[in-house]
Chain A
Amino acid sequence: MDPLSLFFLSVIFLISFPSAVYSFGYLKNEASGKKQALALSLLVLFVAAMVWVVAARNLVVFLVAWEIMSLVSYFLVVFDSTQEKSVQAGTIYIVMTHLGTAFLVIAFLIMSKYAHAFDFASVKAACALMPEKTKNFVFICLFIGFGTKAGLVPLHIWLPFAHPQAPSHISAIMSGVMIKTAIYGIIRFVIMLLGVDSIWWGVWVLVFALISCLVGVVYALMEHDIKRLLAFHSVENIGIILLGVGLAMFFLSLHLYYLAVLSMIAGLYHLVNHAIFKGLLFLCSGSVYKATGTRDMEKLGGLIKNMPVTAACFLLGAMAISALPPLNGFVSEWLTLQAFFLGAGNVGSAGKLFLGVGAGLLALTSGLAAACFVKAFGIIFLAKPRSRQAQNAFEVSFSMKLAQVFLSLLTVVFGVASGVVIKLLAGICAFVLEVDATQMNFSLNNFVLSPQPGNALYLSPPLLALLIVVFGVFAFLAYTFFGNRKVRVFETWGCGYYKLDSRNEYTATAFSKAFRIAFSFFLLPYRKTQKIRESFYHVKSFSYETHTTPVFRKYFYDQILKIVFRSAKFGRRMQPGSIHLYLGYIFLTLLLLLVFMHKF
């Protein structure tokens, strides 16, 4: 076990244990006893496969573990096999994941061809002697292979289908941990084994990471299904993690070792943070689903009254993913931004422009994520219930609450104790990048982060937390002593109308309308209206739907599918069912072989 594997191992267990605890409450009354046992054993197998993936020291072993992980997660996606949606999602998932594995196999075969062995040590030695062109080709194959698993745009297509269909504790593990194994793959195979020596590799990773950030968050804003929303946020956050990794590759090829270590720390920090808060959010959304039986945000609302613990946990997770201080998401995104800024000061003018634009886009992404979670929290937990199920919701069982509270505490701990975490990560990153990091200081006294040596630029999450608490206390005291304390219980002000019900409430669609218009060049929204009239003057019903065009699916995947189906139809003509024709094929093959033999 080297530090990198240990790091990923701890991330796996950090999320898997609470998820397993959660699953006891979640699956109760949901499935039969046999099916619960099956779920638990699949969960154990899934975690074991992931452990195996990060522990493997051999290309073939890695591939086998990788495949087991994919297959077990497929079974978990189609766990609720009575729903046709699950089966469909599973099919999309397994096709995409095998596409990725195919590229991995290509890359591994080329690597092992040069090494004449499969173990990492000899592969590493062989990769140093690989010609430039082959190296680039292997990099592209690895990037596509791992990018598919990570859910990078445009290979993300399976993620918003598969993650929501799995049971919620599995979604938490898949989104929190499984897609991170792809990051592990990129770090292990591209940075450590292959070795980065072209600048364009880092740029390439950065470009795709930025696209993933923006596309993920924009799609998440448009989503009303709470778990699909979270799945799109996974695309976004994988982008942010890869920004750190890509920056590390970029700086490594420019021999800016300090910056490379800093960016890698930012990437790995965001990785563990994302695992925590995305796991938390998926568990909370599972609780909401368990309590109300729906994942459609438009049918929820007012849950904070019936489910206070879940609401508090969801709020913490939402704040963390929106990068609000002093929670963990803030620290890692701040570090990534610092890496961008610090890098811009050390490269040429084109690099300055590129990194500047990257930092801007990252800031835009965080802003949009915050907007998205204002929508998610507001619509799900605040206001009046929008349906009977939401009205009758009740708080979930103890084991589920326990897992949620544990993970929400972690979001605070990883924010406040960032000085310690960053030191641990510095060691791992120094190992990964093969840089001596003993002279590099990223924090003062485990208390204040200081990523820019020389510049007086500090961040102290504990102090920040203290400041927030103190301000809060002061505000509360001021309110208690000087505020208007007379409490009046009255209906909410509703523009002078009375008898307002949930139908008058703001909806998720309405909230995201502004963003739909702002990003209409990409989302291509369209509307469908249908009037049913009794006569010209009397409209009996009027329906209005608004949709956005799934650009990647329509203009990329559907086109590919069309070509595949067309060629399959053409190929079918070869097989008309005539025995004579089949015999003729054999005969022709024989003749061709004879000619072939004659020629050579």
Chain B
Amino acid sequence: MQAVILFGVLLSCPLMAIAKRAPALVRNFRLQSFFLFLATLSLGAGEGRVDLYIIAGLLFLLKVLLIPEILYRITRRIKANENIGLFINAQLSLFFVLGMMYAAWVFSKAMFPFAAVLKTTLLAAAFCVVLSGMFLMIFRISALAQIIGMLVMENGIFLLASTVSGGMPFFVEIAIFFDVFVSVVIMGFFVYQINKLFTHINVNKLSRLKG
């Protein structure tokens, strides 16, 4: 069961890397968050901890329902262009992400050489998610992709925390959820404003503001 869920989380990384349009990216993000929710739920069921159930519920509510909905709304609102703009084309991006997956695996094996395979794999998956979030932020032009990249990184860190140390303290987790939600709202607002002012949200053109 755990392996299937992990596979889902991992699979969403290359999926996001090859997405060319904003709705596709949001959909893949939703998929990843859903698998993350499943992972947390199964962990909670396995250990019988109530706080994990609550966190899983919050995760579902925020990252699967609310945030993707806000992002969809932004894409619809700014309507100008659904393309997120690729610095690196989809095929090369796929190679990149696969390479990062391998690197994460090598790294986590080097870090915990005597840990169980499942734990090492979980760690590698978490690293891979963080790295692919970073990848999205760097190699995509649209500001929307940057928001999603950040959220993906956040997912990765969540996974990392729950695999390495059995989850963060309950209240910290709650606070982080709240932070993420607020930041998405704020960034969405900014993206909307930027679009209104410049009629696009291409971050690479910000360098024109340089003195």
User: Are B138 and A587 neighbours in the complex by a CB distance under 8 Å?
Assistant: yes
Residues of B within 8 A of A576 (CB): 207, 210
- Shortest C-beta distance, A274 to chain B (Å), equals 50
Residues of A within 8 A of B106 (CB): 598
* A578 contact from B131, B137, B204, Cβ within 8 A: B204
How many Å lie between the Cα of A303 and that of B134 in the bound state?
Answer: 77
* B107 contact from A577, A578, A586, A594, Cβ within 8 A: A594
* B139 contact from A577, A580, A586, A591, Cβ within 8 A: A580
Asked if A579 is at the interface (CB within 8 A of a chain B CB), the reply is yes
Asked if B203 is at the interface (CB within 8 A of a chain A CB), the reply is yes
- Shortest C-beta distance, A268 to chain B (Å), equals 55
How many Å lie between the Cα of A597 and that of B210 in the bound state?
Answer: 36
- Contact pattern, A 581-598, Cβ under 8 Å of B = 1, otherwise 0: 001101100110010011
* A583 contact from B110, B111, B137, Cβ within 8 A: B137
User: Are B207 and A578 neighbours in the complex by a CB distance under 8 Å?
Assistant: yes
**Number of B interface residues in the complex (CB < 8 A):** 20
Residues of A within 8 A of B138 (CB): 580, 583-584, 587
User: Are A597 and B206 neighbours in the complex by a CB distance under 8 Å?
Assistant: no
How many Å lie between the Cα of A579 and that of B207 in the bound state?
Answer: 8
Asked if B87 is at the interface (CB within 8 A of a chain A CB), the reply is yes
* A587 contact from B103, B110, B134, B207, Cβ within 8 A: B134
- Shortest C-beta distance, A600 to chain B (Å), equals 11
- Contact pattern, B 184-208, Cβ under 8 Å of A = 1, otherwise 0: 0000000000000000000110110
Residue of A nearest to B87 (CB): A580
Asked if B116 is at the interface (CB within 8 A of a chain A CB), the reply is no
- Contact pattern, A 398-436, Cβ under 8 Å of B = 1, otherwise 0: 000000000000000000000000000000000000000
- Shortest C-beta distance, A271 to chain B (Å), equals 51
Residues of A within 8 A of B146 (CB): 579
How many Å lie between the Cα of A598 and that of B207 in the bound state?
Answer: 36
User: Are A579 and B206 neighbours in the complex by a CB distance under 8 Å?
Assistant: yes
Residue of B nearest to A582 (CB): B138
- Contact pattern, B 88-129, Cβ under 8 Å of A = 1, otherwise 0: 000000000000000100110011000000000000000000
Residues of B within 8 A of A587 (CB): 131, 134-135, 138
How many Å lie between the Cα of A584 and that of B87 in the bound state?
Answer: 12
Residue of B nearest to A598 (CB): B110
Given contacts A577-B209, A594-B107, A597-B111, contact A583 B204 (CB under 8 A): no
Residues of A within 8 A of B204 (CB): 578-580
Residue of A nearest to B104 (CB): A594
How many Å lie between the Cα of A591 and that of B106 in the bound state?
Answer: 13
Given contacts A594-B107, A598-B110, contact A583 B134 (CB under 8 A): yes
A-B contact pairs, 23 of them (CB 8 A): A576-B207, A576-B210, A577-B207, A577-B209, A577-B210, A578-B204, A578-B207, A579-B146, A579-B203, A579-B204, A579-B206, A580-B87, A580-B137, A580-B139, A583-B134, A583-B137, A584-B138, A587-B131, A587-B134, A591-B103, A594-B107, A598-B107, A598-B111
5 extra interface residue pairs, beta carbon distance < 8 Å, beyond A591-B103, A594-B107: A578-B204, A580-B141, A580-B203, A583-B134, A597-B107
Ranked nearest first, the 4 interchain pairs of A and B with the lowest CB-CB distance are A577-B207, A577-B210, A583-B138, A598-B110
Chain A interfacial positions (CB closer than 8 Å to B): 576-580, 583-584, 586-587, 590-591, 594, 597-598
